[in-house]
C-alpha cells in the first residue's frame, strides 16, 4: 500500500505547525521576544503584571491600564472555600519531588469546582476570564501546597509587593529584600514564553479540541514536569553541589559524558549560542554576589570548555536552568520549588497561546504511519 502521508522530522524539529503573534525565538542569533518587544528588555524594565498584560491583551499598558489590570489579577488569585478544604489532602500526597503533580491535581479540582466552560463556542471574554483566573491562582495554589506539606499555614498573596515579592512572601513568610524581588521578577518575566515548547504545543492541542482552559493548563503542567523540559533547575544546582570546586569540573563532565548522561544546565534545543535567559540570570547572580555565584561562573567556564573538547561542533552553552537555580537559591526559594516557580511564569505563555488557538477552531490532528507487521494478519 502506497502512503501519501508527508513525513515530519523526528520530534517535529524545525517544522512550522502554526502561526503566532505571541512571540518568537531566533536560535542562531540568541534572541527571543514577546510580541514585538525584546524579552530581555522587558525583564529589565517592566513589571511582571505589565508583561502579562502584553501577552494577554497584545499591547503594553499605560499607567491606568496597568493599575486596573493588576487589580484584576489580584481578584483572580483568591482561592474558593471548597478548594481550600481539599488542599491539605493534596499537599500530603506523593513524594516531595511531585510538586507539579500536586499543582496539576489542584488545578484540575479548581476546574471542576468552578466549572470552566469549554473553549469551543465560548466568547473571547469567557476564555480570557479563564486564562486570567489560572494566571492569578496558580502561584497561590502552589505556595499553599508547599506550606501545607511543610506543616505551615498558607499565606494570602500580597499584590502590593508585586508578583515576585508576593510569591516570595507566600513561600517564606518574610517580606523579600528589594534585590531578591528584582531578580525573581526578571526570572519570571524572562520565562513567560519561549516559542513552541512541548508544554505550549500541548496546551494548544488540548484547546484545539475545544476543551476548557483548566484542562489545557493541566495537560501543559504534565508535559512541563518532565526533566527534559521544565524540571531541571534544581538538578543543575545539584550538579554544582556535586562538582564543589572549579578544578573538579572537567573531570566531572568527562565522567558524565562517558556514561552517556546529559549535563543539566547546558545545551538547548534551539539556541546555538548562550541562552539569552542565562545571560540575564548570570547578571543577577553576580549582582547578588556570594560564594555560590562565584562558583557558578567559574564552573560554567570549565564545563563549556570541557564540552567543546568532548563534543566538538555541538555548541553546548549554558541554558536558563543553570543560573536560574543559582538565583533562586540566592533569593531563598526552596529547591523543591524551583520548577514550580518556572511554572508560575509559564502559565502566562500557555494562557496567551490558549487564547490565540481559540481563534482557529480546528482540531490539531496529525497522522501516524503504521510500522508494525503487515496487516491484516489471520487470527491464530
Q: Which CATH superfamily is domain 233-330 in?
A: Cytochrome P450-Terp, domain 2 (1.10.230.10)
Q: In CATH terms, are 32-227+337-357 and 233-330 the same topology?
A: no
What are the structural domain ranges in the chain? 32-227+337-357, 233-330
Q: Count Cα atoms within 13 angstroms, Cβ side, for 377.
A: 5
Asked whether the beta carbons of 114 and 133 are under 8 A apart, the reply is yes
Residue 346 backbone dihedrals phi, psi, to 5 degrees: -70, -20
Pick the CATH number of 32-227+337-357 from 1.10.3720.10, 3.40.50.620, 1.10.580.10, 2.40.160.10: 1.10.580.10
pLDDT of residue 1: 43
Tens of pLDDT, residue by residue, the chain (380 residues):
445 567 888 888 778 888 999 999 987 788 899 999 999 999 999 999 999 999 999 999 999 999 999 999 999 999 998 898 899 999 999 998 889 999 999 999 999 999 899 999 999 999 999 999 999 999 999 999 999 999 999 999 999 999 999 999 999 999 999 999 999 999 999 999 998 999 999 999 999 999 999 999 999 999 999 877 876 667 788 888 889 999 999 999 899 888 888 777 777 767 677 788 989 999 999 999 999 999 999 988 888 888 888 888 777 777 888 889 999 999 999 988 988 999 999 999 999 999 999 998 899 998 888 899 999 999 99
Closest CA relative to residue 36, chosen from 52, 53, 24, 18: 24
The DSSP secondary structure of 30-57, one letter per residue, reads TEEEETTEEHHHHHHHS-HHHHHHHHHH
* Alpha carbon of residue 89 to chain centroid: 25
Q: Does the annotation count 321 as an active-site position?
A: yes
Tell me which of 180, 194, 268, 284 is the catalytic residue: 268
pLDDT of residue 226: 85
- Which three three-digit cell numbers place residue 8? 515530519
Give the span between the Cα atoms of 222 and 220, in whole angstroms: 5
pLDDT of residue 234: 77
Tell me which of 49, 182, 302, 321 is the catalytic residue: 321
Amino acid at each position: 500500500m502506497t502512503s501519501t502521508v508527508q513525513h515530519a522530522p523526528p520530534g517535529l524539529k524545525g517544522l512550522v505547525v502554526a502561526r503566532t503573534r505571541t512571540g518568537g525565538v531566533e536560535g542562531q542569533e540568541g534572541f527571543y521576544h514577546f510580541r514585538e518587544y525584546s524579552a530581555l528588555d522587558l525583564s529589565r524594565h517592566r513589571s511582571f503584571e505589565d508583561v502579562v498584560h502584553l501577552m494577554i491583551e497584545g499591547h503594553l499598558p499605560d499607567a491606568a491600564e496597568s493599575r486596573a489590570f493588576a487589580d484584576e489579577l489580584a481578584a483572580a488569585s483568591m482561592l474558593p472555600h471548597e478548594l481550600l478544604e481539599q488542599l491539605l489532602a493534596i499537599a500530603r500526597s506523593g513524594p516531595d519531588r511531585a510538586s507539579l503533580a500536586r499543582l496539576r491535581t489542584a488545578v484540575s479540582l479548581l476546574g471542576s469546582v468552578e466549572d470552566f466552560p469549554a473553549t469551543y463556542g465560548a466568547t473571547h471574554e469567557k476564555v480570557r476570564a479563564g486564562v486570567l483566573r489560572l494566571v492569578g491562582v496558580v502561584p497561590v495554589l502552589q505556595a499553599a501546597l508547599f506550606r501545607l506539606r511543610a506543616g505551615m499555614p498558607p499565606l494570602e498573596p500580597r499584590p502590593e509587593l508585586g508578583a515576585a515579592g508576593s510569591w516570595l512572601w507566600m513561600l517564606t513568610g518574610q517580606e523579600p529584600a528589594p534585590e531578591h524581588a528584582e531578580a525573581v521578577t526578571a526570572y519570571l518575566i524572562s520565562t513567560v514564553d519561549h516559542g513552541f515548547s512541548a508544554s505550549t504545543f500541548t496546551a494548544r492541542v488540548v484547546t484545539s479540541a475545544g476543551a476548557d482552559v483548566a484542562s489545557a493548563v493541566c495537560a501543559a503542567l504534565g508535559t512541563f514536569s518532565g526533566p527534559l523540559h521544565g524540571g531541571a533547575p534544581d538538578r543543575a544546582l545539584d550538579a554544582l553541589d556535586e562538582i564543589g570546586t572549579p578544578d573538579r569540573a572537567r573531570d566531572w563532565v568527562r565522567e558524565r559524558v562517558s556514561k552517556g548522561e546529559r549535563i543539566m544546565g547546558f545545551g538547548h534545543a534551539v539556541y546555538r549560542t548562550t541562552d539569552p535567559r542565562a545571560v540575564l540570570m548570570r547578571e543577577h547572580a553576580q549582582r547578588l554576589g556570594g560564594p555560590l555565584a562565584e562558583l557558578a561562573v567559574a564552573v560554567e567556564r570549565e564545563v563549556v570548555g570541557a564540552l567543546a573538547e568532548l563534543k566538538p561542533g555541538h555548541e553546548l552553552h549554558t541554558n536558563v536552568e543553570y543560573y536560574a537555580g543559582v538565583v533562586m537559591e540566592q533569593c531563598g526559594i526552596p529547591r523543591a520549588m524551583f520548577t514550580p516557580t518556572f511554572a508560575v511564569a509559564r502559565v502566562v505563555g500557555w494562557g496567551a497561546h490558549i487564547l490565540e488557538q481559540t481563534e482557529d477552531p480546528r482540531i490539531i490532528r496529525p497522522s501516524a504511519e503504521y510500522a508494525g507487521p503487515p496487516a491484516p494478519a489471520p487470527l491464530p
